[in-house]
Amino acid sequence: MSQDPSSSSSTSRYPDAKAPLRREIHAPSRGDLRYGSSPKAKPKPNNCCEKGDFFTREYDNAKRTALNAFRFLNKDKELIDLEEEEEEAVSQGSVAEVIDCDDEERNIQTPSDSKTVRVDDTSTMLDSLSLGRQETTDASSLQAYRKLLQSAERRNSKLEALGFEILFNEKKLLQLRNSRPKPVDKNPLKKVPHQPFIPLTKEEEAEVYRAFSGRNKRKVLVTHESSNIDITGEVLQCLTPSAWLNDEVINLYLELLKERETREPKKYLKCHFFNTFFYKKLVSDSGYNFKAVRRWTTQKKLGYALIDCDMVFVPIHRGVHWTLAVINNRDRKFLYLDSLNGVDSKILNALAKYLGDEAKEKNGKDIDVSSWEMEFVEDLPQQQNGYDCGMFMLKYIDFFSRGLELCFSQEHMPYFRLRTAREILKLRAD
């Protein structure tokens, strides 16, 4: 049989067929050549069914595991695509299985229904427990309240009895106090009179300002003969505002206070006024020295004994600050007054020793000063600047010698400066 030339020519245009390369099978194999089986052997029908059942079981297990996992997940957090799992299972087993959606929905809804029932049951149980606990608590708290109320009633009766006893004793004590005689102060401090604060007239103020003038700087304005103290215009200027007081002005003013007492002894306390040099002689750098001042208080010189005075005033100069020490014979006290609220026990101890030596030397008496009180006066007018300490000291002395309370303050200092200058110019303290 002859070939058609046209058909042979068309066939020659295609390449020759070649045997394909052998490749290993990457899928389940139905036969095993390693144990002598024939590659042409036909698979048993049961193998397919058994393997299909195996993958079906695996799929069912995976599905149940996934459905059980829904109990631990919230509905709004994550959704699992079951279709992807189905496709993966089918591809792995090479077996297709049709699942009834209605059955799957029933399987999925069943756990949720049972879960809802369990939650409702649990909440009902908790409510019943809480109600039972509340009833128990209410019962126990009611009993405790009744016991507390009974205890309070018993205590109230006792408290009423105690309250009556306390009230009775307080009234009895008040009657006893009222029946006691009140102590009478032989020397009461007087109320503040108008005299220490009498304002200067315009003529008196003009006279003081003329004395403060620089033209009178070297001029002797007044001389106190008994003390031999001269006051020049320069010395008097220590009484101008913001100036420190000097020894001459202080000592002359103390002499005027003593003269005021002598003129009107019934109006003022009996006092002695040491000058600013006394304490420096009594206590020097070498210590206490009674002999240095023993002649200062002779009977001939004073006309009285120190132990007969109500108060003895001792000015203390502490370099740049004036303070006051007082021997209060009337109240058996040693007082220390500082316009800056300072304290110095050495000064009072020295004065206590001096008073004992003085009484023994001049009067032949032994005074037990150890029983006397040493008081650092705190409730007294205080200076509010750095230059009025001397003026405060003079006014402490002035008011004490009058028997008055220290009823002045810093705001009175400008007036007291003018008044003191006026009294020095007149050589008379009022």
216 and 95 share one domain: no
90 and 201 share one domain: no
pLDDT over 90 at 220, yes or no: yes
| Tokens 């023994």, located at residue | 360
The DSSP secondary structure of 311-347, one letter per residue, reads EEEEEEE-SS-EEEEEEETTTTEEEEE-TT----HHH
pLDDT of the residue at 73 = 56
**Secondary structure letter of residue 377 according to DSSP:** -
Residue (of 315, 312, 319) closest to 333 by Cα position? 312
> Which residue would you say has higher pLDDT here, 344 or 43?
344
Domain C-terminal end among 74, 99, 124: 99
327 within some domain: yes
Cα 216 to Cα 243, 401, 427: the distances in Å are: 17, 33, 18
> Which residue would you say has higher pLDDT here, 379 or 174?
379
| Residue pair 420/250 in contact by the 8 Å Cβ criterion | no
Residue 218, C-beta contacts closer than 8 angstroms, at least 6 positions apart: 232, 233, 234
90 and 207 share one domain: no
How many domains, in total, are found in the chain? 2
The DSSP secondary structure of 215-257, one letter per residue, reads GGTTSEEEEETTTTEEEEHHHHGGGSTTPPP-HHHHHHHHHHH
39 within some domain: no
The per-residue pLDDT for range 266-316, each reduced to its tens digit, is 999 999 999 999 999 999 999 999 999 999 999 999 999 999 999 999 999
pLDDT over 80 at 174, yes or no: no
81 and 225 share one domain: no
The DSSP secondary structure of 101-118, one letter per residue, reads HHHHHHHHHHHHHHHHHH
205 and 323 share one domain: yes
pLDDT-derived band at 112 (thresholds 50, 70, 90) equals very low
105 within some domain: no
Residue 329, C-beta contacts closer than 8 angstroms, at least 6 positions apart: 306, 307, 308, 309, 310, 311, 312
The per-residue pLDDT for range 240-262, each reduced to its tens digit, is 999 999 999 999 999 999 999 99
92 and 212 share one domain: no
Residue 245, C-beta contacts closer than 8 angstroms, at least 6 positions apart: 238, 239, 322, 390, 391, 394
pTM of the predicted structure, to 2 decimals: 0.57
Residue 376, C-beta contacts closer than 8 angstroms, at least 6 positions apart: 335, 336, 338, 343
pLDDT-derived band at 47 (thresholds 50, 70, 90) equals low
The per-residue pLDDT for range 140-168, each reduced to its tens digit, is 667 776 777 777 767 776 777 777 778 77
394 within some domain: yes
Q: Which residues pair with 336 in a beta bridge?
A: 325, 376
406 and 300 share one domain: yes
Phi/psi at 227 (5° precision): -100, -10
Active site residues: 321, 338, 389
Question: Which residues form the domain of 58?
Answer: 44-99
| Residue pair 188/201 in contact by the 8 Å Cβ criterion | no
93 and 199 share one domain: no
One-letter identity of residue 94: S
Domain C-terminal end among 77, 99, 121: 99
Cβ burial 134-162 (10 Å sphere, 16+ → b, else e): eeeeeeeeeeeeeeeeeeeeeeeeeeeee
84 and 231 share one domain: no
pLDDT of the residue at 110 = 45
> Which residue would you say has higher pLDDT here, 125 or 322?
322
87 and 221 share one domain: no
Angle CA(257)–CA(262)–CA(265) in degrees, nearest 5? Answer: 105
301 within some domain: yes
Domain C-terminal end among 75, 99, 123: 99
Beta sheet of 311-317, edge-to-edge order: 271-273, 311-317, 322-328, 333-337, 373-376
CATH of the domain at 385: 3.40.395.10
Q: What percent of the chain has pLDDT over 70?
A: 66
Residue (of 334, 189, 322, 184) closest to 254 by Cα position? 322
399 within some domain: yes
250 and 392 share one domain: yes
373 within some domain: yes
pLDDT over 80 at 92, yes or no: no
**Secondary structure letter of residue 15 according to DSSP:** P
95 and 199 share one domain: no
pLDDT of the residue at 24 = 59
Least confident of 168-172, 233-237, 266-270, 401-405: 168-172
**Both tokens of residue 236?**
């008097």
pLDDT of the residue at 151 = 76
Q: Are strands 287-288 and 283-284 parallel, antiparallel or unpaired?
A: antiparallel
131 within some domain: no
One-letter identity of residue 52: G
pLDDT of the residue at 187 = 54
Length of the chain as a residue count:
430
